[in-house]
Structure 1
Amino acid sequence: MNRGVLFMTIFHPDEDKGNQYRELWTKYVGRGQQTYTPSQIVVDKAQGAYLWTLDGRKLTDFTSGVLVSNLGYAHPKFETKFKEYYKQLPRNTYNMISPVQVEASKRLIESFGYSKAQKILWAASGSEGIQKAMWSALHRYPERNIIVATRHGFHGKKGLAADVTGDTSPNPNVRWISFPMGEGYEQDFYEKELNQLWDNHKGKIALLITEPYLGAKGSYHPPKWYHQLLQHWCNEHDIPFIFDEVQSCFGRTGNMYAFQTYGVEPDLVVLGKGMASGEPASAVVGREDLIEALDYGEASDTFSGGSSACCAVCATMDVFEEDKIVEHVKKTQGKLKDILMKLKQEFPFIMDVRGEGFVYGVD
């Protein structure tokens, strides 16, 4: 890949204001801050599913702010409730506690509806949430050093999260297993792979981490038996099963959480993106013995689980409950699939449509 081309500043002939800001952004901000989806839209305002550029173009955002704005941009009920929760709280509550932080923690744990959901760790981004989940498992079993991850997942760009992203790793302790991507392999193929892994590293495996579906890789959604197989194998060998729901939580797959869609009860679940409707927040929910394996203050940092993030989580959950968002997804998900399949039939350049709920990939 020609990285120079990928990160070139885009110029639109009818966007004088946008062109100016894109050029200034490139001038002042390091290329490491750029994303791998460089639309370079210069936004003036957002509402619902729409964005308006500085030069007046109206755009439909089919990414939902990259799976962050599950309620849409500037949802009026969310904005009202967020302000009500926030009131006059300090923005940073690193060395104090506010009632809304307790409420958000309690509500998230209780929303899981199964016994392993016992405690929570807060973070400010998906990568940090993954890091804290993996830390928890590694600290719980310090004699174990092998980390198992499914190939082609995206868990983050930093630290341990980066170590388990893709299909190669600088970490010599990472081992990869296959994730279904439409190859048609039967269940016994994956069973043999897992059993061989156990034979090679018996008693040394600290955790297994996977995504419900491969999001960044192209929206590959496995058969339900796949994650149930992984959980059964983890339970059999006392291996913490970590589910990365940073992008799949809060209604994306047709349920509040993807673990409900796939019929599993992970030991640790990492949440992010849509849980706070745009405020920087992520969380790890799961087994107390894993989360409490981290010593006092070991997972703390300045902005994790602050008052603004927790206000946003509570406001988001309020709207989900009062407006019955998940029920709406269940009722309308079939319509979305039908529309996409009709487009595939109409346009021969569309090779494939993959997805579930309100999350799809189109090749």
Structure 2
Amino acid sequence: LAIQIHQSLLTYGSHLKLKHAVVYGGVGQGNQARDLSNGVDVLVATPGRLMDLHSQQLLSLHKVETFVLDEADRMLDMGFIQDIQRILPLLPKKRHNLFFSATMAHDVQKLASGILENPKKVEVTPQATTAEKINQSVMFVEKSKKLELLVHLLQDPTFTRVLVFMSMKHGANRVVDKLVKHGISAAGIHGDKSQGARQRALEEFREGKVRVLVATDIAARGLDIDGISHVINYELPHVAETYVHRIGRTARAGAEGKSIAFCTAEEKSYLFAIEKTTRQQITVVTDQPYHSAESQSAPVMSVGQAKAAIEKRIHAAQASGRATAAAAGTGQAARSGAGRAPRTEAESADASGPRSDTRGGPRRHRSTDAEPQKRTSFFNKKKFGFKNKP
């Protein structure tokens, strides 16, 4: 999203004498530090990398005049609020704050009011409003038949550019693999992917090289990709506002689009919450080969009960998978005449390479005492700041 906003700056500001830069994690910071070396008028940043650069004294925020928080409800959520709380004291007290979001839950509004001073609220549309030109529908289906239903829908040539939303990273990988085996070009994007892999997947999707992009909610916020014909909620989000952001990836800038939600018996409470939040009743489509009347007629659980039931099923499936893998490993060890103690979670994580945090990109490397010279040279670099103009 930071990259996309910076590209918009390049377009809209092409005839303005504004210096701007973008900084984000998951890539080397050398070029980003160089871009900041003479100061900028506008800086687009993700909070993690911003704090990294500030801690290394590669930028200063004491002359910032305007502080913009995009996707404010998400940025004030549990995953990012600590970073925002660290950034705010670095800014001058006299500044203009602008918070933007398509949705703003009541508890987040209360949190925002503690940051803002006498704020004015501007609403272009009522909160959680979906675009008028999105044709929304829901299909009731058993969980075990979701993939078959997805493949069935993708046989329709009108599904030209399709964004499929999942709740879990491993589920996204599995769906991509299955689609490719069915001859459907697909790519995945989620938090465990490197920044480079995410960018490649997005570009291939934008350019039409890939027909289906399977994503977690990392792609739900703000991404502007032309011509998405369908958004499919393979799994419904347990937060209703997330649904609004997801389907908002289609029908951009007045275009038309379609959204389809797959719903199991356990997910009915999520569907109910979505309809209540958006103040809309979503059309039920029964004319499909995997329609589940049982799921449609199932009683609505509370959201908490639904989450517990879904998590229990996921844990059971993961335990079954581990047991199968362990059995296969035992057999292999017996055949080779050697054995190995099972890996701990930490060993498995280390073997899989760098992990991603909620901000995206690999986790930051922590310097050890064996690297004092390198660390000292980092902090002796010139301190750069914003070059603000009247």
TM-score relative to the length of structure 2? 0.31
When Rg is computed on C-alpha atoms for both structures, the one with the higher figure is 2
